Amino acid sequence: MKQMNAEIIAVGTELLLGQIANTNAQWISEQLAINGINVFYHGVVGDNLTRVKDMFEIAGERSDVVIVTGGLGPTDDDLTREAFQFISGLKMIEHKPSMDYIEAYFNKINSIMTPNNRKQARVFEGATVINNTVGMAPGMIIHYNDTTWVFLPGVPREMKSMMLDGVLPYLNKTFKQDEVIKSYVLRFIGIGESQLEHELKEIINKQQNPTIAPLAQNNGVVIRLTAKAKSEESAFQLLNQARDTILAIVGNYYYGTNEETLEQVIISKLKDKQLMIASAESLTGGKFIEKLISVPGASEVTRGSIVCYDTSVKRDVLKISDEMLQSKGTISSECALEMSKNVATLLNASIGISFTGLAGPEPLEGKPVGTVYISVYIKNTKHIVQKFEFSGTRDGIRHRAVLKGYEILLNLLK
């Protein structure tokens, strides 16, 4: 059977202005890949009739399936229907069930429906209508000139509901594929994208199926593995073989798969070892503990944090000695170590982690901006203090400090 190739078009000037991110295209691509449909093009076009029409004409010539999000609302700048009617000549009609649903919504909220809301119920004659159970405008599926067109609202929760309930079942029934596409993500910390790619250069150069794609992210580096096969079982066998080959080379930096986060892994390891953690945070201002307690179940292993930004808080609350503060300063390995030890003692934790340093804007205590000390103290076992020189913006330095703290902690817990 012929492989179906899809294209995704997002309509909306707000996307071009950067006011919102085009997360719809990413999510739809993932769903289509799971169902064995290739996505060859992503497009974004503003609310302009001529440009939307031009993009539709190009898409219709090169793609088997075109999925359009946005431009189905009630206002004058919602032009998706009009642009497609221009190129297709298809008649539009009011879809009574959708109109009844819209009117019932306004009655329910005791509000007067303005006349332009009737526009949302307009569909192309002969289209397969997809009911919108979480919004107003219905979706449509239309087969025109050997291309299947799917029109969906741009609101993500509406689009996702209609894709899952209406579009994907339709595509699977109409274009049953011979292959499935499966993928997953391997996550790494403590190694840069260029170094990871260098270490894996030989297998990346030989890649065919699965494909191997390294990608830098804010919280480390990921490798996306994607495999095509006749069945899910065969696809995952290919993925697992590739994963094992990769981890045999760079497994020391690996921490999780797919949506697994560093903080989730840390929580899991703390639970396994029955350890409690507390943090003392100066320049990070609570960012470390905030990420940790965002994980459900964090209360089982997390005592809390002392945010000791001011020197007086380090002295009076965290009980850092005056002698050390005067002789070594707050931005020092000695201060970092005492912070991690004291917070573990004060909050009755097995592990104390501390962050002290300088994120800017000016040098302090003779230290340049970006100087950071991180200490991890494991009660009655070991302690470690490391110094770093980070570059970047104030927020960037603070983010990198937190990330490095998680990396150090993960390596100790391994």
Per domain, the residue ranges of the chain are 5-174, 180-257, 262-413
Q: Which residues contact 19 (CB under 8 A, 6 or more apart)?
A: none
- In whole numbers, what is the pLDDT of the chain averaged over residues? 93
What pLDDT score does 148 carry? 96
- Angle 399-267-354 from CA coordinates, rounded to 5°: 45
Amino acid present at 345: T
Is the Cβ–Cβ distance between 187 and 222 less than 8 Å?
yes
Q: Kindly report, residue by residue over 343-401, the tens digit of the pLDDT.
A: 999 999 999 999 999 998 888 888 999 999 999 999 988 899 999 999 999 999 999 99
- Bond from prior residue into 361 cis (ω within 30 degrees of 0): yes
Angle, helix 80-88 to helix 49-62, in steps of 10 degrees:
60
Can you name the residues that pair with 41 across neighbouring β-strands? 7
Q: How far apart are CA 59 and CA 87, in angstroms?
A: 12
Region of 285 on the Ramachandran plot (φ > 0 left; ψ -120 to 50 alpha; else beta)? left
Against a cut of 0.75, is the pTM above it?
A: no
Q: Kindly report, residue by residue over 167-188, the tens digit of the pLDDT.
A: 998 998 887 766 777 888 999 9
Is the Cβ–Cβ distance between 353 and 405 less than 8 Å?
yes
Can you name the residues that pair with 307 across neighbouring β-strands? 281
Mean pLDDT of 295-303: 96
Residue 387, H or E segment: strand 382-389
Is the Cβ–Cβ distance between 159 and 152 less than 8 Å?
yes
Higher pLDDT, 377 or 78: 377
CA distances for 375 relative to 236, 344, 371, angstroms = 40, 12, 14
Is the Cβ–Cβ distance between 390 and 344 less than 8 Å?
no
- Bond from prior residue into 210 cis (ω within 30 degrees of 0): yes
Classified as helix, coil or strand, 331 is coil
Whether the pLDDT of residue 230 is over 90: the answer is no
What pLDDT score does 189 carry? 95
Beta pairing class for 5-11 and 38-45: parallel
What pLDDT score does 177 carry? 64
Q: Kindly report, residue by residue over 198-208, the tens digit of the pLDDT.
A: 999 999 888 88
Residue 32, H or E segment: helix 23-34
Closest by CA to 123, choosing from 156, 99, 144, 93, is 93
Superfamily covering domain 262-413? CinA-like (3.90.950.20)
Q: Kindly report, residue by residue over 85-144, the tens digit of the pLDDT.
A: 999 999 999 999 999 989 988 888 888 889 888 999 999 999 999 999 888 899 999 999
Q: Kindly report, residue by residue over 271-280, the tens digit of the pLDDT.
A: 999 999 999 9
Q: Which residues contact 366 (CB under 8 A, 6 or more apart)?
A: none
Per-position DSSP letters for 115-150, written without gaps between them: GGGGGGGEEETT-EEE--SSSSSPEEEEEETTEEEE
Kindly state the percentage of the chain with pLDDT values over 90: 76
Its CATH architecture, for the domain 5-174, is 3-Layer(aba) Sandwich (3.40)
What pLDDT score does 2 carry? 58
What pLDDT score does 310 carry? 95
pLDDT band at residue 191, thresholds of 50, 70 and 90?
Answer: very high
Whether the pLDDT of residue 294 is over 90: the answer is yes
- How far is the first Cα of the chain from the last one, in angstroms, to the nearest whole number? 48
Whether the pLDDT of residue 1 is over 60: the answer is no
* CATH number for region 180-257: 3.30.70.2860
What pLDDT score does 319 carry? 97
